[in-house]
């Protein structure tokens, strides 16, 4: 998880159209990192009512994936709370996530959180990504 965050999630934010205020959050437990997430302000879609924030990554430690704890759900709840707290209270925030269309567990997670799939795009590496949004 640490290598992925360092190399992939946080290294090249320009390709994600990140504008500012990149944040990394860690969910600790028992002296270990159980999950981590990153998000930043962005400008990916047309939305004139308020700011947009892109969830750059949500990662759950391998031993805690697909367990009854549902740490991914806790991480996305943390992401939404920190996103809402990062922006002016009087403006709606459009939260955006890009998920590989083959990643069924992540798609199920964002669906449980209330996200809607609005588009599919081809990423820089040729993979197909669903663009998921939620207004908070």
CATH of the domain at 108: 3.40.630.30
Contact, 32 vs 61, CB < 8 A? yes
Residue 87 confidence (pLDDT): 93
Contact, 109 vs 117, CB < 8 A? no
With 0-12 / 13-18 / 19 or more C-beta atoms within 10 angstroms meaning exposed / middle / buried, residue 31 is: exposed
Residue 38 structural domain: 2-135
- Residue 10 pLDDT greater than 70, yes or no: no
- Residue 6 pLDDT greater than 90, yes or no: no
Average pLDDT rounded to a whole number, residues 31-37: 91
Structure tokens at 71: 């740490």
Structure tokens at 1: 């998880």
The pTM for the full model equals 0.84
Average pLDDT rounded to a whole number, residues 15-38: 82
Which segments of 30-127 are extended strands (E)? Answer: 32-42, 52-60, 94-100, 116-122
Number of domains in the chain: 1
Residue 19 confidence (pLDDT): 61
């Amino acid at each position: 998880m640490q290598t992925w965050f360092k190399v992939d999630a946080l290294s090249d934010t320009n390709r994600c159209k990140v504008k500012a205020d990149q944040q990394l959050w860690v969910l600790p437990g028992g002296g270990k990192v159980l999950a981590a997430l990153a998000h930043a302000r962005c400008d990916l879609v047309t939305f004139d009512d308020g700011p947009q924030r892109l969830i750059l990554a949500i990662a759950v430690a391998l031993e805690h994936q697909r367990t009854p704890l549902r740490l991914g759900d806790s991480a996305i709840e943390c992401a939404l709370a920190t996103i809402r707290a990062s922006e002016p209270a009087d403006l709606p925030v459009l939260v955006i996530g890009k998920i590989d269309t083959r990643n069924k567990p992540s798609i199920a997670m964002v669906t449980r959180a209330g996200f809607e799939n609005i588009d599919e795009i081809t990423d820089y590496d040729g993979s197909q990504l669903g663009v998921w949004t939620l207004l908070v």
